[in-house]
Amino acid sequence: MTILDWIALALLLGGAGFFFAGTIGLLRFPDTLCRLHAMTKADNVGLGLLCLGLALHERTLSGTLTLAFVWVFALAASTLSAFLIAGWAEARSDTGEGS
Amino acid sequence: MTPIVFPVTAALLFAIGLYGVLTRARLIQRLLAVNLMASAIFLFLIVTSTGGPHGPDPVPQAMVLTGIVVALSTMAYALVLIRHLRVLTRAETLESIVDD
Amino acid sequence: MTEAIDGLTAGSLTALILGPLILALVAVALPRRRLIDSAVMLLALLLLALLLPLSRAVLTHGPLVMDLGGHDAPIAIPLYVDSLALGMLWLLTLLALAIHPYASAWLQRSDHPHADDYPALWLVLWTGLNSLVLSGDLFNLYVMLEVTTLGAVSLVMLGQSAGAVSAAARYLFFALVGSVLFLLGTALVYADIGLLYMPMIAVHADASPAIVVALLAITAGVAMKAALFPLHAWLPIAHASAPTPASAVLSAAVATAGVYLLLRLWLGPFAGTWTITTAQGIGVIGAAGILYGSAQALRQQRIKVIVAYSTVAQLGYLLLLVPLAQSPLAWQGAVYHAVTHGLAKAGIFLAAGNLILAIGNDRLENLSGADQFAAKNLLVIGIAGAAVAGLPPTGGFIAKWWLLSAALGQGQWWWVAVIAVGSLLAAAYVFRILQYAMRQPENRAEIDPRVRDQSLPYALLWPPALLAALALGLGFSGELLAPFLQVTDLSPALGGTGR
Amino acid sequence: MLPVFDTMLCLGLLWLGWGIVASTTLFRGVVLFMVFGLLMAVTWVRLSAPDVALAEAVIGAGIAGALLLGACKAMLSDPGTPAEQGGPEPAALPRLPAAALSLLVGAALAWLMVTVRGGGPVPEAVAIALPTHFLHNPVSVILLDLRGYDTLMETVVLLLAFLGARAMMRHSELDPLFTPVATHRHYTMPLITLLTPILLLLALHILWTGGNAPGGAFQAGALLAALGVMYQLTGHLRPSRESGPGVRALLVCGLLVFSLFACLGLTWGDAPLTYPRGAGYVSALVVEIALMLSIGTTLTLLFAAHPGLKPDLRQ
């Protein structure tokens, strides 16, 4: 294993760690907004680290580009869905329907 | 190890699904159990496709693809039927509907 | 095998499967009821015309196999036609001809909210039934079973009431488990001997554990879908709560197709796995179904439930073919029984539908005086009922006579007793309906039918009459049709043609 | 390393399977089922079946998940019959005999599934037929040509499922999964305008390469359905009580093209579904494009739980 592989491994483990923390946050945090916070942060950074690690391992242009696309799309989707869920949660708490 | 672990998993998944079909009364959960049984058979089919002397046999893979589509279609249909039944009778199990 | 297939045969087989399908697609895209109704009639007549040369081809060449897509066995999906399949095709096409115009008129007349949904659903179901009958590939049968199941469940669901929808749900869940079991059997067969092409399975299948379990799983799966006797629980409720024309389709076509499929599989690809004991066991199940169904039918108070239980009973006769399969007479009898019973049963349901239009429901006690206002429909019920019971001179008599002769010819006299008792009970439950109808009401003014025979539209009167006439007519054409019913190659019925 | 991975994968599948069957709440069962679908997709990759993996990912975790969540929400928003409120779920069958039967079946099947013989005439014949075919992805050869009839009929199952469901949707008001908030449109619009061309491109790509690489009409159609789902969730498509002529045309075009093509097989071959010599790839592509449109429309409508959809162009 070259030094690049070791860096890749570290990045992958770091990404997995972020996912783990995010999942714990999702399960443990008290309300919708906090859970969203935990999940989106963890997913965005965690996925970014995973993609970076895989790109270092793969080391081809097309592979790296594909991974970059995966990350960008996941970012866009999670940003918007988090925003919509937050809006929905706010609307619900305004009308006093839920927490 | 590998030649045994996947077929055994398929058989056990089938058994778990069968148990669910027999014991769960809530229709959506019974539906999930039926789909579990189907997935178990798909797993078995794909496992048998890998071992041949000519490389992976595409016929079981095609069968599984067809099977996945068929299972999705029947699931979609069953879900609408369950919701329709719910609207009509407010029941989510067949046991709670008294026959007339 | 394909050398016997000429252009006309290939075209007929294609039309049988794709004709109803394309028409269904047109019906979805252009929901004009008039247009679709006449197109369905034309299609049914066209297919009837095409069945004539097809029957001739089967008579001269024996069973035909058409490999789809121009590929060779065993990778192609074959369509397979023998006399058994031919009988089913005649039945289905005649039913399509009679039931569709009736259904259209009936749904319109009773202001049924699903009148627009019916044509496309029935046409797709028709495609499914034709392909189920013709398919010679085990996995393709799984797909076709799903088409028929979804179609049949939808027809039950059209009954609208909470009872009908819950019956549909019950039916669907039985059928879903049935499909999974069928799929399991298919997977085991493929994993064990690497074949799905049924004409070849019979040659390669032995009694290895995987094949035996596959046979068990497939049998249980189809039996759940076809509501064979111990697994019949959903059938009477479902058939009785569907809209009446749909009940006719379900009892006459769908249920028969299920049993047809079982016979096809048992006596075709799996013929090598039978022993005398298991064959007799299947016969016993059939006999139990005959007796149980008939006894239940005698106790019911609603016409549609009586007729539905009668279906449970009559399907049992088809199972008697398994222990008697060595005799050509038994094959003739089984095919003849399937066709006559299908036609007669549809006729009874359609006539019962007219009674429902007249008195608002189908309870026996409300039938009093029906001989005054619904004489034609009662006549249909009488004739078709006689055919179901197997009384001379109907087609049912010929069918049961052949079955009886086959049983006597092989010295299996115990089936004779079952057939005789079953016929007696059937006659009893049919005449019980007539007896209620002939009863004079205490107060003449009580007879207040909403509709009299005379005011019913023509489209509601000729289909049941046609069906009863056909069931009767089959009684006079037994000798004429017998050559078409010959199974040239008895055991295994399908496997003999394998390469 | 690989045996360890396999064992972990299988244990995960079994654990999730048990979770689905034993879960006390509906929502939990549904979520576990979606996770199970994802894990199955990983399993398919491990068993070198990438086509199946792709389909399982878009269907098992994607479309099926969306449908299940919709049904789940409908169940939870209604308190149900008095007998079912709060009380325990009535058991369909006693647990003990059911467990004994299932274990027996499982043990018998495990033995059978390990000892089946394998091989046989079909795998051999297929291995011979594959190299000379005009398509290069073995699974596509089977799905589009050798067993094209199955594909035709599987699409019939999908259409029939929708027709049956439509009959019910017309007569009982089923709630859509979400009621989108219209004021958010200026946030969702950029995403829609970004993703629409990309998803369309991706669907066409999956379709186009389907002949030679994993992919095909159903996966592409499911991607289109994802687009349809997104339009519904952001309020650009709204459920309607009737299917308009355009929707109906999209619904049937796939099967219509496929079955007419099947009939045409009689003119240039001896049997229906025969591909014309020399124009095989082109005809497969035409059929697949039509199928993709129909599959996408059908799945989108099934998600809407309504007979039709109409665009909502308000800004």
Q: Mind listing the pLDDT tens digit for each residue in A40-84?
A: 888 889 999 999 999 988 888 998 999 998 898 888 888 878 887
Cα of D274 to nearest chain C Cα, Å:
4
Rounded to whole angstroms, how far apart are CA atoms A80 and A88?
A: 12
- pLDDT at C499 (0 to 100): 27
Determine, for residues A87 and D195 on separate chains, whether the beta-carbon distance falls below 8 Å.
no
Determine, for residues A80 and D191 on separate chains, whether the beta-carbon distance falls below 8 Å.
yes
* The residue type at C204: H
Rounded to whole angstroms, how far apart are CA atoms B97 and C422?
A: 34
Q: Is B38 helix (H, G, I), strand (E, B) or coil?
A: helix
Contact (CB, 8 A) for B20 and B33: yes
Q: Which is it for the CA torsion D168, D173, D178, D181, positive or negative?
A: positive
Show Cβ contacts of residue D206 under 8 Å, excluding neighbours closer than 6 positions.
D54, D215, D216, D219, D220, D223
- pLDDT at D80 (0 to 100): 61
Rounded to whole angstroms, how far apart are CA atoms C356 and D88?
A: 41
* The residue type at C288: A
Show Cβ contacts of residue D179 under 8 Å, excluding neighbours closer than 6 positions.
none
Question: How many C-beta neighbours within 10 Å does residue B95 have?
Answer: 14
Rounded to whole angstroms, how far apart are CA atoms C367 and C487?
A: 44
Distances, alpha carbon C114 to alpha carbons C106, C120, C156, D169, D295, in Å: 11, 11, 12, 11, 24
Please report which residue ranges of C136-275 form alpha helices under DSSP H.
138-157, 162-193, 198-204, 209-226, 234-241, 244-249, 255-267
Contact (CB, 8 A) for D6 and B7: no
Rounded to whole angstroms, how far apart are CA atoms C105 and C459?
A: 6
Across residues D48-52, what is the average pLDDT?
91
Q: Tell me C367's DSSP state.
A: G
Instruction: Nearest by CB to C180, from B37, B84, B94: name it.
Output: B37
Across residues B60-89, what is the average pLDDT?
94
Contact (CB, 8 A) for C426 and C354: no
| pLDDT tens, position by position, D130-143 | 888 888 889 999 99
Cα of D187 to nearest chain B Cα, Å:
31
Rounded to whole angstroms, how far apart are CA atoms B55 and C381?
A: 62
Q: Is C79 helix (H, G, I), strand (E, B) or coil?
A: strand
| pLDDT tens, position by position, B33-62 | 999 999 999 999 999 888 777 778 899 999
Task: Look up residue D55 and give its two tokens.
Answer: 């389909």
> Which DSSP helix (H) or strand (E) runs through B73?
helix B58-89
Q: Is D240 helix (H, G, I), strand (E, B) or coil?
A: strand
* The residue type at C396: G
Interface chains of chain B (3 or more CB pairs under 8 Å): C, D
Nearest to C79 by CA among D277, D126, D266: D266
Contact (CB, 8 A) for C77 and C6: no
**Dihedral class, residue C486 (left if φ above 0, else alpha if ψ from -120 to 50, else beta):** beta
Determine, for residues D59 and B72 on separate chains, whether the beta-carbon distance falls below 8 Å.
yes
Rounded to whole angstroms, how far apart are CA atoms B54 and D131?
A: 12
Contact (CB, 8 A) for C44 and C165: no
Cα of A66 to nearest chain D Cα, Å:
13
Determine, for residues D194 and A76 on separate chains, whether the beta-carbon distance falls below 8 Å.
yes
Task: Look up residue D148 and give its two tokens.
Answer: 């094209």
| pLDDT tens, position by position, D210-257 | 777 787 899 999 999 989 988 887 788 888 888 889 999 999 999 999
Interface chains of chain C (3 or more CB pairs under 8 Å): B, D
Determine, for residues D270 and C195 on separate chains, whether the beta-carbon distance falls below 8 Å.
no
Look at C202 and A12; give whichever has higher pLDDT: A12
| N residues, chain A | 99
Determine, for residues B85 and C146 on separate chains, whether the beta-carbon distance falls below 8 Å.
no
| pLDDT tens, position by position, D264-289 | 999 888 889 999 888 888 999 999 99
Nearest to C478 by CA among C347, C354, C362, C333: C333
Cα of C133 to nearest chain D Cα, Å:
14
Minimum CA–CA partner of A75 in chain D: D191
Residue with tokens 């009982």: D172
Q: What are phi and psi of C43, to 5 degrees?
A: -60, -45
Task: Please identify every stretch of chain C with a pLDDT value under 50, giving residue numbers as ranges.
Answer: 1-2, 490-499
Q: Is D131 on the interface with C (CB under 8 A)?
A: no
Q: Is C131 on the interface with D (CB under 8 A)?
A: yes
Q: At B1, is the pLDDT very low, low, confident or very high (cuts 50, 70, 90)?
A: very low
Task: Look up residue C99 and give its two tokens.
Answer: 């039931």
Instruction: Nearest by CB to B83, from D49, D103, D174: name it.
Output: D174
**Dihedral class, residue D214 (left if φ above 0, else alpha if ψ from -120 to 50, else beta):** beta
Contact (CB, 8 A) for B20 and B29: yes
Are there at least 3 beta-carbon pairs closer than 8 Å between B and C?
yes
| N residues, chain C | 499
Cα of C352 to nearest chain B Cα, Å:
20
Are there at least 3 beta-carbon pairs closer than 8 Å between C and A?
no
Q: Which is it for the CA torsion C454, C460, C464, C465, positive or negative?
A: positive
Best of D189, D191, D196, D198 to disrupt the A interface by mutation (most A CBs within 10 Å)?
D191
* The residue type at B59: V
Instruction: Nearest by CB to D263, from C18, C29, C66: name it.
Output: C18
- pLDDT at C493 (0 to 100): 40
Task: Look up residue C361 and give its two tokens.
Answer: 């429901």
Q: Is C54 helix (H, G, I), strand (E, B) or coil?
A: helix
Q: Is D237 helix (H, G, I), strand (E, B) or coil?
A: strand
Rounded to whole angstroms, how far apart are CA atoms C401 and C391?
A: 10
Look at D119 and A64; give whichever has higher pLDDT: A64
Rounded to whole angstroms, how far apart are CA atoms C34 and C37?
A: 5
Residues of D in contact with B24 (CB under 8 A): 21, 89, 92
Distances, alpha carbon C258 to alpha carbons C252, C318, D118, in Å: 11, 11, 30
- pLDDT at D176 (0 to 100): 66
Q: Which is it for the CA torsion D301, D303, D305, D309, positive or negative?
A: negative
Q: What are phi and psi of C368, to 5 degrees?
A: -45, 130
The B-side interface with C (CB below 8 A) comprises 14, 17, 21, 27, 30-31, 34, 37-38, 41, 44-45, 48, 59-60, 63, 66-67, 70, 73-74, 77-78, 81-82, 84-85, 88-89, 91, 94, 97, 99-100
Determine, for residues C29 and D260 on separate chains, whether the beta-carbon distance falls below 8 Å.
no
**Dihedral class, residue D216 (left if φ above 0, else alpha if ψ from -120 to 50, else beta):** left
Best of D109, D156, D168, D250 to disrupt the C interface by mutation (most C CBs within 10 Å)?
D156
Instruction: Judge if ipTM > 0.90.
Output: yes
Asked if pLDDT for residue D65 goes beyond 50, the answer is yes
Residue with tokens 């033995």: D111
Please report which residue ranges of chain D form alpha helices under DSSP H.
2-22, 26-46, 50-56, 64-76, 95-115, 121-129, 138-140, 148-171, 185-209, 217-233, 245-268, 280-304
| pLDDT tens, position by position, A37-51 | 888 888 889 999 999
Task: Look up residue D215 and give its two tokens.
Answer: 């992919």
Contact (CB, 8 A) for C343 and C252: yes
Determine, for residues D181 and A80 on separate chains, whether the beta-carbon distance falls below 8 Å.
no
Residues of D in contact with B29 (CB under 8 A): 20-21, 23, 26, 29
Q: Is the pTM of this model over 0.80?
A: yes
Question: Do the bridges between strand D308-311 and strand D237-240 make them parallel or antiparallel, or are there none, so unpaired?
Answer: antiparallel
Q: What is the CA radius of gyration of chain A?
A: 17
DSSP letter for each residue of D79-95: ---GGGSSSPPPPSS-H
Instruction: Nearest by CB to C124, from D160, D167, D251: name it.
Output: D160
Rounded to whole angstroms, how far apart are CA atoms D262 and C11?
A: 11
Asked if pLDDT for residue B98 goes beyond 70, the answer is no
Minimum CA–CA partner of C2 in chain D: D270
Task: Look up residue D164 and give its two tokens.
Answer: 């049956």
Rounded to whole angstroms, how far apart are CA atoms A17 and A12?
A: 9
Residue with tokens 């159903």: D218
- pLDDT at C53 (0 to 100): 94
For residue C137, list its beta bridge partners. Answer: C197
How confident is the prediction for chain B on average, in pLDDT? 89
> Which DSSP helix (H) or strand (E) runs through D308?
strand D308-311
Instruction: Nearest by CB to D141, from B18, B58, B65: name it.
Output: B58
Contact (CB, 8 A) for C198 and C494: yes
Residues of B in contact with D121 (CB under 8 A): none
- pLDDT at D1 (0 to 100): 65
Q: Tell me C72's DSSP state.
A: P
Angle at C204 between CA C203 and CA C207, to 5 degrees: 105
Interface chains of chain A (3 or more CB pairs under 8 Å): D
**Peptide bond between residue B7 and the one before it cis (omega within 30 degrees of 0):** no
Contact (CB, 8 A) for C199 and C497: yes
Residue A75 burial (CB < 10 Å; 0-12/13-18/19+)? middle
